Amino acid sequence: MGKCIIMCAGEFNPVDLDREEEDFVIAADNGLTYLQRMGIVPDHIIGDYDSLVPEGQAALREFEKERPEAVTRLPKEKDDTDTMAAVRLGFERGYKKFFIYAALGGRLDHTIANLQTLCFIKEHGGQGYIMDASCMAFIIRNETREFAEGFRGTFSLFSMDDKCTGVTIKGMDYETDGITLTNSFPIGESNFIPGDRKASVTVEHGTALAIVTWA
Query: Taking the CA of residue 45 as centre, how many other CA atoms within 13 Å lie in the half-sphere pointing to its CB?
Result: 30
Determine phi and psi for 135, rounding to 5 degrees.
-155, 170
Q: Are 131 and 15 in contact (CB under 8 A)?
A: yes
User: Identical fold at 4-133 and 137-214?
Assistant: yes
Q: Which CATH number fits domain 4-133: 3.40.50.10240, 3.40.1710.10, 1.20.210.10, 3.50.50.60?
A: 3.40.50.10240
CA dihedral (182, 183, 187, 192) positive or negative: positive
> What is the pLDDT at residue 119?
98
Task: Please state, as a whole number, how many other Cβ atoms lie within 10 Å of the Cβ of residue 145.
Answer: 16
Reported as a pLDDT band with limits 50, 70 and 90, residue 105 is confident
Q: What is the mean pLDDT of residues 38-44?
A: 95
> What is the pLDDT at residue 154?
98
Cα 141 to Cα 166, 172, 203, distances in angstroms? 11, 19, 6
Beta bridge partners of 147: 199
Q: Where are the domains of the chain?
A: 4-133, 137-214
| Average of per-residue pLDDT values in the chain | 95
The model's pLDDT over 45-87, given as tens digits with 9 standing for 90+, comes to: 999 998 889 999 999 999 999 999 999 999 988 999 999 999 9
Q: What is the mean pLDDT of residues 35-49?
A: 94
* Amino acid found at 43: D
Q: Which of 127, 111, 109 is nearest to 119 (CA)?
A: 127
pTM for the structure as a whole: 0.95
48-56 contacts: CB < 8 A, separation 24 or more?
48/73, 48/74, 48/75, 48/76, 48/78, 48/82, 49/73, 50/76, 51/9, 52/9, 56/30, 56/32
Q: Which CATH number fits domain 137-214: 3.40.50.10240, 3.40.50.300, 3.30.1280.10, 2.60.120.260?
A: 3.40.50.10240
